[in-house]
Structure formats: C-alpha cells, structure tokens
C-alpha cells in the first residue's frame, strides 16, 4: 500500500515524507533473530554487509 502511495504522489516533499515513514516501519518490521548451528557435516557460514560495512550500509546477508 505504501508503494502505491509513493508512485501516485506528484508532490516531491509529500513523497519524501511518506518514504521516510515507510523506511522506519520497514526497519522495525525486518528485525529477526537467527540461530545458526554448525554440525560435523556443516561447512560453516559467513556474514556480509551490515551497518557501517566497507561497502556502505547494506542488508546483512548470511551465506
């Protein structure tokens, strides 16, 4: 629904305000806890991205 509002808005100041609200809600909605367990058959895992990474603030990726 928020995406539709952003696309239909012609006022750039209103659009920026809506985008700002959406990003705050989105950041709160995407917080989750992940438990990783390494077994004898596992090869391990790596983390990429995150806030303040060398390539800028990127989403945290688990590989």
Q: Is the pTM of the predicted complex or chain greater than 0.85?
A: no
Query: Are 13 and 33 a contacting pair, CB within 8 Å?
Result: no
pLDDT at 54: 83
3-state secondary structure of 12: helix
pLDDT at 28: 58
Q: What beta strand segments (E) does the chain contain? A: 47-53, 56-62
Contacts of 45 (CB under 8 A, 6+ apart): 36, 38, 62, 63
pLDDT at 40: 83
Residues 6-57 have pLDDT tens digits of 444 444 444 444 455 555 555 556 777 888 777 888 777 888 888 888 888 8
Residue pointed to by tokens 């952003």:
6
């Amino acid at each position: 629904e928020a995406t539709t509002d952003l696309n239909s808005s012609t006022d750039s100041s209103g659009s920026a305000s809506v985008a700002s609200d959406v990003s705050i809600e989105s950041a709160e909605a995407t917080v989750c806890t992940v438990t990783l367990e390494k077994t004898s058959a596992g090869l391990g895992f790596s983390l990429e991205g995150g806030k303040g990474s060398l390539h800028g603030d990127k989403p945290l990726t688990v590989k």
